[in-house]
């Protein structure tokens, strides 16, 4: 059943007609997110401009029990903002103002629809630093980052989105507006509700504002690329660097297939004749950076690096990081459907996990390209396939099952940063166990008794 | 093999399927950034095209309009890591919209019949109309008409258009350039010179400068007096058959085997000229020659960079120049460093970077005539950035951009010189 006439009238009344989309041609572009092979038509798309708009929309949808799927820029990789059939898509990209940058307290207050890159730029312009930098940062929204608790290329040293959220405003399913957190470094008044909303994937409330913690911009930074003839040598280099008590901000990995795709697009001069590439970056005090960079280079060479190239300036460093961020999309150059995995293991188990993934790919006769956050134990083996080939897609699913089982066995997780959404929904119960599932269900029911926010996502 | 038919369904499915909807192109798309609506983004437009190919959506008027709201600037192609061929999708989508007739209206049909089928299919007609316009301007009639207030009787849009009628050059290229121009010094190459259509009417001096510069760099230049439209206007506006016909005629007029290079100085034309093979892939007679043709077509900046530019001894009297990138030069042909190197080679000229230099200026072929509001927003954005550089000269390598910026500077009363890079180079040679 398409969206009811009175619902459309109400949405138009709340936000103004120009902020409501209903035609086929307008809805098709919202019928998917960044996840491969998933598609569903919404009933309408609405763009709130204020928290009050969001509250009014949720009050109505809660009364009429109309499902709502919150959406940022739709770059999610687990189907989080994939519409439910005939739902309201609540798209926050027009709530796009940075409200305050507090230099005394080093915080930034932003509306949820602001693009991550703009936050990074605003902080940078004030000599400050917002570290989380997901590969999608030039278009992902901060609301989406918080809702997915996104990681990035600097997770090893700086952590993930959660580590930078000091407070947030969320609208609950019944339309009530809740503010949690503040500018205090310390705050133990009651449960940490903000942490409940971080990583909630649009199920518990709609995040409308976010208060972020900023850092002083590191005074110096060195970026380098090391190449290896074997994947194991790259993995060993990472282990040795950490064992040498260096915590670089970035230790990113690309395999041969990925290197070729990325170079084909970005043309930054990556060496093509190698099996593995590490993008390494250290930042901080200039003396410390110089020392760490030298030791990292030494460790890479000791592990048989074919070449170590140090970026000569900021522009080259930025080009290398941008090239790395394009990895996932660039892999699509060689296959029509790219399905990437996000299983994560403790750092110490990484080398074993890499071998396991390679063996599974061989076993199921699948092509993969692997890249990811090696320093975080979070790799993204990406299956290069074709969604129209049903038989091969079946093998992909079988391969996934084995990979998840192994990740769990090694003390890892089924998703490091992309979330559960619909992609991991079926395996969450096995991973989380009965007690966690029960608490999560009860929490959700308490906040959203009518099940209007992203129903059917994460768990039923 | 790619299809040379005009429909989305016949297009190789891998082209339609290539977009993996990551969204990384969105921040580069001027229409998305202005509206924040997915339908106006590359990802959204491709989703609509795919829905048509998959028969989930009928070709509708809304679809057709969307394809004409797209600037065709191809910034999305530069941004896309997945290698989506938006140019091909876009041309097929517009052709699909035209073939289905969803956009037909008496007014639109008339404009298209006159502009695309009649005027730009035949250079003689274009020149005749140009001559009349030139007469109108030279006899002072334009001033008279403008002062008389008669124009107030016209609808607003037409009045604005009249104000932006370009000044037709006193001479056409054929009156300025001999059929054969001998190289200065030793002959290193033999090249053909495409004088273009808009370029020929409005910027024939740029054509003359291009030929001069080529000769100065050891090229014998063949410039036939009678030339054709390259067909880009047709291909970009969904007239696939006309575009194919013009491509065949071009190949006959400039047999590619006989030249070291076929030179164009218009970014928009070059971007189309380099893809004749795709257009004629299924043509038993022309397909092979079209391949050779594609290899021989060179943008003037690209060619000079390739053969090694003779540095001018004396340059500008001094000044600050900034460079605006034509979309089809930057995104369509990936020529970005060459024009900058060329400008830097001119002594006394200081090149400052233009913020967002590769963001569309709103000219986009005939977009500024069809979507005046969006085009004007883009123009204002461009002018704001130009002002921020403090440059007094703006160089750009495409007639559409030149016109758009000249009109913009005039409207805003900005004392800017808008000029093709090759003209600056030619002036420098003349001084030395
Ligand atoms: C090329 C590419 C690279 C990527 N790289 C990384 C990476 O390095 N690290 C990483 O962690 N992820 C990465 N991602 C995944 C994705 O970009 C992130 O999950 C991102 O945070 C999603 O942001 P978005 O604005 O697109 O949200 P969407 O995809 O629109 O939504 C994601 C989820 O959040 C919910 N949501 C969105 N906004 C709100 C809100 N305001 N309130 C409540 N719920 C909301 C939605 O309902 C949905 O469940 C990448 C994706 C792509 C395509
Ligand atoms: S066109 Fe390219 S960049 Fe844009 S969404 Fe598709 S794959 Fe991503
Ligand atoms: S061609 Fe330009 S306007 Fe059209 S989708 Fe691509 S970037 Fe956007």
Q: Mean pLDDT, to the nearest integer, of B335-343?
A: 97
Q: Which helix (H) or strand (E) holds A245?
A: none
Atom of ligand 3 nearest to the CA of B25: 7
CB-ligand 1 contact for A152 (6 Å cutoff): yes
- The pair phi, psi for residue B321, each rounded to 5°, is -120, 145
Predicted confidence band at B371 (pLDDT cuts at 50, 70, 90)?
Answer: confident
Give all strands of the β-sheet with A276-284 in edge-to-edge order: A307-310, A220-228, A276-284, A250-255, A367-373, A378-385, A337-340
Predicted confidence band at B200 (pLDDT cuts at 50, 70, 90)?
Answer: confident
Give all strands of the β-sheet with B417-419 in edge-to-edge order: B349-352, B319-323, B393-395, B417-419
Ligand nearest to the CA of B94: 3
Q: Mean pLDDT, to the nearest integer, of A183-194?
A: 93
A196-210, B268-282, B373-387: least confident range: B268-282
To probe the interface with B, which of A21, A22, A25, A315 has the most B CB atoms within 10 Å? A25
What is the ipTM for the molecules in this complex?
0.95
CB-ligand 2 contact for B84 (6 Å cutoff): yes
Q: What is the pLDDT of residue B136?
A: 63
Share of chain A above pLDDT 90, in %: 91
Q: What is the pLDDT of residue B105?
A: 82
Q: Do A73 and B41 touch (CB under 8 A)?
A: no
Question: For residue A214, is pLDDT > 90?
Answer: yes
- The pair phi, psi for residue B91, each rounded to 5°, is -65, -40
Q: Which SS3 state, helix, strand or coil, does residue B227 take?
A: coil
Q: In this complex, which of A32, A330, A336 lies closest to B18 when CB atoms are compared?
A: A336
Residues of B in contact with A33 (CB under 8 A): 21
Q: What is the pLDDT of residue B1?
A: 33
The Cα B225–Cα B227 span in angstroms is: 6
DSSP B19-71: -----TTGGG-HHHHHH--GGGSHHHHHHHHHHHHTTSS---HHHHHHHHHS-
Q: What angle do CA A280, A285, A291 make, to 5 degrees?
A: 55
Residues A212 and A224 in one domain: no
To probe the interface with A, which of B11, B22, B58, B353 has the most A CB atoms within 10 Å? B22
Q: Do B57 and A24 touch (CB under 8 A)?
A: yes
- CB–CB of A106/A115 below 8 Å? no
- Measure A25 CA to ligand 1 centroid, in angstroms: 24
Predicted confidence band at B175 (pLDDT cuts at 50, 70, 90)?
Answer: confident
- CB–CB of A405/A363 below 8 Å? no
Residue B256 class from Cβ within 10 Å (0-12 exposed, 13-18 middle, 19+ buried)?
A: buried
Residues 6+ apart with CB under 8 A from B2: B11, B12, B15, B88, B278, B281
Which residue has its alpha carbon closest to ligand 1 atom 28? A74
- Measure B23 CA to ligand 2 centroid, in angstroms: 5
Residues of B in contact with A75 (CB under 8 A): 22-23
The Cα B378–Cα A205 span in angstroms is: 37
Please state the length of chain A.
Answer: 460
- Measure A331 CA to ligand 2 centroid, in angstroms: 12
Q: What is the pLDDT of residue B237?
A: 79
Closest CA to A177 of A333, A362, A51: A51
Q: What is the pLDDT of residue B35?
A: 96
A11-15, A112-116, B165-169, B298-302: least confident range: B165-169
Question: For residue B150, is pLDDT > 60?
Answer: no
Predicted confidence band at B2 (pLDDT cuts at 50, 70, 90)?
Answer: very low
Question: For residue B181, is pLDDT > 50?
Answer: yes
A42-56, A60-74, A109-123, B278-292: least confident range: B278-292
CATH number of A15's domain: 3.30.43.10
Q: Which SS3 state, helix, strand or coil, does residue A421 take?
A: coil
Residues 6+ apart with CB under 8 A from A39: A31, A32, A82
Q: Mean pLDDT, to the nearest integer, of B322-329?
A: 96
What is the reported pTM?
Answer: 0.92
The Cα B297–Cα A406 span in angstroms is: 56
Q: Mean pLDDT, to the nearest integer, of B273-302?
A: 94
Q: Give A180-203 as a 3 state SS string.
A: EECCCCCCCCCCCHHHHHCCCCCC
Residues 6+ apart with CB under 8 A from B74: B86, B87, B271, B327, B328, B331, B332
Residues A281 and A295 in one domain: yes
Q: Do A262 and B23 touch (CB under 8 A)?
A: no
Share of chain A above pLDDT 70, in %: 100
Question: For residue B155, is pLDDT > 60?
Answer: no
- CB–CB of A339/A363 below 8 Å? no
In a domain, A414, yes or no: no
Average pLDDT, chain B: 87
Q: What is the pLDDT of residue B432?
A: 83
Give the tens place of pLDDT for each residue, B64-84.
999 999 999 999 999 999 999
In a domain, A289, yes or no: yes
In chain B the domains, ranked by start, together with CATH numbers, are 7-100 (1.10.1060.10), 105-310 (no CATH), 313-431 (3.40.50.1860)
A41-45, B173-177, B341-345: least confident range: B173-177
The Cα B432–Cα B417 span in angstroms is: 22
Residues A184 and A232 in one domain: no
In a domain, A196, yes or no: yes
- Measure A382 CA to ligand 1 centroid, in angstroms: 18
Ligand nearest to the CA of B236: 3
**What is the domain range of residue A29?**
5-91
Q: Do B51 and A262 touch (CB under 8 A)?
A: no
Q: Which helix (H) or strand (E) holds B106?
A: helix B106-112
Q: Which SS3 state, helix, strand or coil, does residue A109 take?
A: strand
Q: What is the pLDDT of residue B262?
A: 97
Q: Do B48 and A28 touch (CB under 8 A)?
A: yes
Q: Mean pLDDT, to the nearest integer, of A386-394?
A: 92
Ligand 1 pocket, mutate which of A57, A135, A160 (most atoms under 8 A from CB): A135
Q: What is the pLDDT of residue B3?
A: 42
Residues A168 and A275 in one domain: no
Give the tens place of pLDDT for each residue, B219-273.
999 999 888 888 888 888 778 888 999 999 999 999 999 999 999 999 989 999 9
Residues 6+ apart with CB under 8 A from A106: A128, A213, A214, A215, A216
Residues A207 and A244 in one domain: no
Residues A148 and A229 in one domain: no
CB atoms within 10 A of CB A13: 12
Question: For residue B298, is pLDDT > 60?
Answer: yes
Q: Which of residues A194, A216, A238 is at a domain's end? A: A216
Q: Which SS3 state, helix, strand or coil, does residue A353 take?
A: helix
Tokens, residue B111: 């404009």
Write down the number of H helices and E strands in chain A.
15, 18
- CB–CB of A138/A235 below 8 Å? no
Q: Mean pLDDT, to the nearest integer, of A281-306?
A: 96
Q: Mean pLDDT, to the nearest integer, of A141-160?
A: 96
Considering only residues B366 and A390, tell me which one the structure prediction assigns the higher pLDDT. A390
Question: For residue B163, is pLDDT > 70?
Answer: no
Q: Mean pLDDT, to the nearest integer, of A218-227?
A: 96
In a domain, A200, yes or no: yes
Average pLDDT, chain A: 95
Q: Do B27 and A138 touch (CB under 8 A)?
A: yes
Q: Mean pLDDT, to the nearest integer, of A115-135?
A: 97
Residues A250 and A323 in one domain: yes
In a domain, A422, yes or no: no
Question: For residue B198, is pLDDT > 80?
Answer: no
In a domain, A34, yes or no: yes
Question: For residue B107, is pLDDT > 90?
Answer: no
Question: For residue B166, is pLDDT > 80?
Answer: no
The Cα B133–Cα B165 span in angstroms is: 9
The Cα B139–Cα A378 span in angstroms is: 74
Closest CA to A182 of A196, A165, A197, A200: A165
Residues A151 and A72 in one domain: no
* Dihedral class, residue A44 (left if φ above 0, else alpha if ψ from -120 to 50, else beta): beta
Angle formed by the axes of helices B300-307 and B204-216, to 10°?
10
Residues A137 and A30 in one domain: no
Q: Which SS3 state, helix, strand or coil, does residue B170 take?
A: coil
Q: Which of residues A181, A200, A216 is at a domain's end? A: A216
B13-27, B108-122, B263-277: least confident range: B108-122
Helix, strand, coil abundance in chain B, percent, nearest 5: 55, 10, 35
The Cα B341–Cα B223 span in angstroms is: 26
**Taking the alpha carbons of B399, B405, B406, B408 in that order, is the dihedral positive or negative?**
positive
Q: Which SS3 state, helix, strand or coil, does residue B358 take?
A: coil
Q: What is the pLDDT of residue B4?
A: 45
Q: What is the pLDDT of residue B121?
A: 66
Tokens, residue A283: 């930042």
Q: What is the pLDDT of residue B151?
A: 54
Give me the number of domains chain A comprises.
Answer: 3
- CB–CB of A410/A345 below 8 Å? yes
Using the structure block, give the residue that is written with the tokens 């409005």.
B202
Ligand nearest to the CA of B79: 2
CATH number of A257's domain: 3.30.70.3450
Considering only residues B61 and B9, tell me which one the structure prediction assigns the higher pLDDT. B61
Give the tens place of pLDDT for each residue, A327-383.
999 999 999 899 998 989 998 888 888 889 989 999 999 999 999 999 889 989 999
- CB–CB of A69/A44 below 8 Å? no
CB-ligand 2 contact for B22 (6 Å cutoff): yes
In a domain, A383, yes or no: no
CB-ligand 1 contact for A417 (6 Å cutoff): yes
Ligand nearest to the CA of A142: 1
CB atoms within 10 A of CB B149: 8
Residues 6+ apart with CB under 8 A from B318: B348, B349
**Taking the alpha carbons of A281, A283, A286, A288 in that order, is the dihedral positive or negative?**
negative
CB atoms within 10 A of CB A457: 23
Closest CA to B217 of B101, B322, B325, B342: B342
In a domain, A345, yes or no: no
Question: For residue A239, is pLDDT > 60?
Answer: yes
Q: Mean pLDDT, to the nearest integer, of B299-312?
A: 96
Q: What is the pLDDT of residue A312?
A: 94
Give the tens place of pLDDT for each residue, A193-206.
999 999 999 999 99
Residues A103 and A148 in one domain: yes
The Cα B286–Cα B252 span in angstroms is: 10
The Cα B37–Cα B32 span in angstroms is: 6
Write down the number of H helices and E strands in chain B.
25, 9
Question: For residue B14, is pLDDT > 60?
Answer: yes
Question: For residue A137, is pLDDT > 50?
Answer: yes
Closest CA to A266 of A325, A218, A306: A325
Q: Mean pLDDT, to the nearest integer, of B201-212?
A: 90
Q: Which of residues A166, A192, A216 is at a domain's end? A: A216
* Chain B touched by A114 (CB under 8 Å): no
CATH number of A178's domain: 3.30.465.10
The Cα A65–Cα A453 span in angstroms is: 10
For A173, A183, A194, B327, the CA distances from A167, given in Å and listed in that order, are 19, 8, 6, 43
Residue B104 half-sphere exposure toward CB, CA atoms < 13 A: 7
Residues A131 and A226 in one domain: no
Residues A190 and A151 in one domain: yes
- CB–CB of A69/A87 below 8 Å? yes
């Amino acid at each position: 059943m398409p969206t009811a006439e009175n619902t459309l009238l109400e949405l138009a009344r709340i936000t103004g007609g120009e902020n409501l989309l209903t035609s086929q041609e307008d809805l098709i572009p919202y019928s998917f997110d960044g996840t491969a092979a998933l598609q569903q038509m919404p009933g309408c798309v609405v763009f709130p401009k204020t928290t009050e708009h969001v509250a009014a929309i949720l009050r109505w949808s809660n009364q009429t029990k109309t499902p709502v799927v919150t959406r940022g820029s739709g770059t999610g990789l687990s189907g989080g903002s994939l519409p439910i059939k005939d739902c309201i898509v609540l798209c926050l990209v027009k709530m796009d103002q940075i409200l305050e940058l507090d230099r005394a307290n080093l915080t930034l207050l932003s509306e949820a629809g602001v693009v991550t890159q703009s936050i990074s730029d605003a902080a940078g312009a004030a000599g400050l630093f917002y570290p989380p930098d997901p590969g999608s940062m030039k278009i992902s929204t901060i609301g989406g980052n918080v809702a997915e608790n996104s990681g990035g290329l600097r997770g090893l040293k700086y952590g993930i989105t959660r580590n930078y959220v000091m407070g947030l405003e969320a609208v609950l399913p019944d339309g009530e507006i809740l503010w949690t957190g503040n500018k205090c470094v310390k705050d133990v008044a009651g449960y940490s509700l903000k942490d409940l909303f971080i990583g909630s994937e649009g199920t518990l409330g709609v995040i409308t504002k976010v208060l972020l913690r900023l850092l002083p911009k590191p005074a110096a930074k060195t970026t380098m690329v090391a190449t290896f003839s074997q994947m194991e040598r790259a993995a060993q280099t990472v282990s040795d660097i950490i064992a040498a008590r260096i915590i670089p901000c970035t230790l990113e990995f690309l395999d041969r297939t990925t290197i070729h795709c990325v170079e084909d697009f970005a043309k930054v001069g990556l060496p093509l004749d190698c099996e593995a590439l590490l993008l390494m970056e250290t930042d901080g005090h200039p003396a410390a950076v110089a020392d760490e960079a030298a030791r990292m280079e030494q460790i890479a060479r000791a592990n048989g690096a074919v070449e170590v190239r140090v970026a000569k300036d900021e522009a080259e460093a930025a080009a290398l990081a941008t090239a790395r961020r394009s990895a996932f999309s660039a892999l699509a150059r060689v296959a029509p459907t790219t399905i990437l995995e996000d299983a994560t293991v403790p750092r110490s188990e990484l080398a074993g996990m890499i071998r396991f993934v390679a063996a599974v790919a061989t076993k199921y006769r699948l092509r993969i390209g692997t890249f990811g956050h090696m320093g975080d134990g979070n790799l993204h083996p990406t299956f290069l396939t074709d969604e129209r080939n049903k038989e091969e897609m079946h093998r992909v699913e079988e391969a996934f099952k084995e990979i998840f089982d192994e990740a769990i066995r090694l003390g890892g997780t089924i998703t490091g940063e992309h979330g559960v959404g619909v992609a991991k929904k079926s395996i969450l119960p096995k991973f989380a166990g009965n007690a966690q599932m029960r608490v999560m269900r009860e929490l959700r029911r308490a906040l959203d008794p009518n099940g209007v926010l992203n129903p059917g996502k994460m768990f039923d | 093999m790619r299809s040379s038919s005009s429909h989305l369904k016949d297009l190789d499915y891998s082209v339609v399927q290539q977009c993996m909807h990551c969204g990384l192109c969105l921040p580069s798309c001027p229409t998305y950034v202005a509206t924040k609506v997915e339908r106006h983004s590359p990802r959204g437009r491709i989703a609509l095209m795919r829905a048509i190919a998959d028969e989930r959506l009928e070709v509708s008027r809304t679809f057709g309009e969307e394809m004409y709201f797209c600037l065709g600037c191809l910034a999305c192609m530069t941004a896309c890591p997945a290698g989506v061929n938006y140019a091909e999708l876009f041309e097929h989508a517009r052709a699909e919209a035209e073939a289905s007739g969803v956009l037909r209206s008496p007014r639109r049909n008339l404009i298209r019949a006159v502009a695309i089928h009649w005027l730009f299919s035949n250079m003689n007609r274009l020149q005749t109309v140009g001559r009349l316009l030139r007469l109108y301007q030279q006899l002072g009639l334009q001033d008279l008409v403008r002062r008389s207030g008669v124009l107030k009787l016209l609808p607003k849009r037409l009045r604005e258009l009249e104000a932006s009628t370009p000044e037709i050059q006193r001479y056409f290229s054929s009156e300025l350039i001999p059929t054969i121009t001998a190289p200065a010094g030793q002959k290193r190459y033999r090249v053909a010179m495409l004088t273009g259509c808009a370029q020929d009417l409005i910027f024939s001096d740029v054509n003359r400068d291009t030929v001069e510069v080529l000769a100065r760099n050891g090229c014998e230049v063949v410039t036939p007096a009678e030339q054709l439209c390259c067909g880009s206007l047709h291909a970009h506006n969904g007239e696939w058959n006309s575009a194919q016909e013009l491509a065949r005629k071009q190949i006959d007029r400039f047999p590619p085997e006989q030249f070291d290079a076929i030179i164009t100085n218009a970014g928009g034309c070059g971007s189309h000229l380099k893809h004749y093979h795709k257009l004629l892939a299924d043509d038993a007679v022309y397909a092979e020659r079209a391949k050779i043709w594609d290899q021989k077509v060179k943008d003037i900046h690209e060619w000079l960079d390739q053969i090694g530019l003779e540095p001018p001894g004396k340059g500008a009297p001094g000044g600050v120049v900034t460079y605006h990138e034509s979309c089809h030069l930057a995104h369509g042909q990936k020529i970005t460093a060459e024009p900058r190197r060329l400008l830097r080679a001119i002594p006394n000229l200081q090149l400052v970077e233009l913020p967002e230099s590769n963001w569309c200026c709103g000219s986009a072929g005939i977009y500024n005539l069809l979507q005046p509001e969006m085009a004007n927003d883009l123009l204002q954005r461009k002018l704001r950035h130009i002002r921020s550089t403090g440059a007094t000269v703006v160089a750009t390598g495409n007639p559409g951009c030149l016109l758009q910026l000249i009109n913009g500077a005039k409207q805003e009363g900005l004392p800017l010189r808008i000029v093709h890079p090759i003209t600056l180079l030619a002036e420098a040679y003349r001084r030395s």
